[in-house]
């Protein structure tokens, strides 16, 4: 469902990948990310550190606070273009604090006329 929804998306799309260090280094992943970038998708690069698989390296989901700050910067738009718009954030837990739970209490949805 996500991939078919993205095919119809006309809004900006951000991807915050998280995977095993060897997966992230694989040429197929790099090529696919470049293809998506050529379509205008933005990437929040994964962090480095201890991974769930036991390896250490690049592949960790970026810290929720960093993702929230990037989203806040993107949506802090004084032109009012977001007034009356709905904001959808999806996130997996991956054993960590949900990005959604970190985001909603800190953002002022009413600022953009959202409920």
Residues with catalytic roles: 53
Query: Beta 56-60 vs 47-50: how paired, if at all?
Result: antiparallel
Dist. CA 107–CA 81, nearest whole Å: 16
Q: What are 53's two structure tokens?
A: 């698989």
47 phi and psi angles, rounded to 5 deg: -85, 175
SS3 14: strand
CB 109 within 8 A of CB 85: no
Dist. CA 113–CA 109, nearest whole Å: 7
């Amino acid at each position: 469902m996500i991939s078919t929804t993205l095919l119809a998306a006309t809004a900006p799309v951000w991807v915050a990948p998280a995977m095993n260090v060897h997966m992230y280094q694989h040429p197929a992943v790099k090529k696919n990310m470049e293809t998506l970038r050529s379509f205008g998708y933005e990437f929040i690069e994964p962090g480095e550190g201890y991974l769930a698989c036991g390896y250490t390296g690049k592949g960790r989901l970026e810290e929720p606070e960093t993702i929230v700050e990037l989203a806040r910067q993107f949506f802090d738009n004084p032109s009012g273009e977001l007034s009356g718009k709905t904001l959808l954030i999806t996130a997996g837990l991956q054993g960590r604090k949900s990005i959604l739970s970190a985001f909603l209490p800190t953002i002022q949805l009413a600022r953009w006329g959202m409920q």
